[in-house]
């Protein structure tokens, strides 16, 4: 806004306020004063709006420069894509570690001890990684057809159900 427009706004507002005071002094006490105040209030609003409408017309004649979509390289400031890739890598490894802890806890709930859990993710460009497979690694070899196989099957079923994976994607790796 120009200083001329602000000066005109201040002059108009002072004129309207002085007219309001004079009309209130001249009018007798009663209902008419309320109407005078209302009319003068409308005049104040119109004076302020007139300045803003003038500013809107100024915006039409002075276009705003278009924003660029490609980020510009600024010397000394690293590219955000590097940070983004690093963040995704750290988030993915934290997710894998969290799922591995949850799987170990679920296996313990089923009465099955697991030495290590390997969580494999399926990564698709532009999407979040998804669980592809969970491998349960044991410390010692478990003989076939023992009580541990029943516990392993129970643990595998529980983990597959918990993560909504097909049963064949949760495997027990024996050394």
- The 10s digit of each residue's pLDDT in 96-121 is 999 999 998 888 888 888 888 999 88
Which H or E run contains 65?
A: none
pLDDT for position 173: 81
**pLDDT band at residue 144, thresholds of 50, 70 and 90?**
very low
- Number of C-beta neighbours around residue 117 at 10 A: 20
Asked if the model's pLDDT at residue 134 lies above 80, the reply is yes
pLDDT for position 73: 66
**Which of 17, 16, 36 lies closest to 26 in space, CA to CA?**
36
**Which of 122, 105, 97 lies closest to 159 in space, CA to CA?**
105
Higher pLDDT, 151 or 105: 105
pLDDT for position 145: 44
């Amino acid at each position: 806004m120009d200083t001329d427009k602000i000066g005109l706004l201040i002059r108009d507002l002072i004129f309207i306020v002085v007219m309001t005071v004079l009309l209130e002094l001249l009018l007798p006490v009663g209902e008419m004063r309320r109407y005078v105040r209302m009319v003068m209030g409308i005049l104040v609003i119109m004076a302020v709006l007139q300045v803003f409408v003038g500013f809107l017309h100024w915006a039409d004649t002075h276009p705003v420069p278009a924003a660029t979509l490609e980020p510009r390289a600024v010397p000394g400031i690293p590219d955000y894509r590097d940070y983004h890739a690093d963040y995704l890598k750290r988030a993915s490894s934290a997710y894998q570690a969290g799922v591995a802890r949850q799987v170990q806890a679920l296996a313990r709930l089923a009465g099955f001890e697991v030495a290590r859990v390997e969580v494999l993710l399926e990564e698709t460009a532009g999407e979040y990684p998804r669980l592809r497979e969970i491998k349960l690694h044991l410390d010692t070899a478990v003989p076939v057809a023992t009580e541990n196989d029943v516990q392993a099957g129970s643990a595998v079923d529980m983990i597959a159900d918990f993560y909504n994976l097909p049963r064949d994607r949760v495997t027990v790796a024996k050394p």
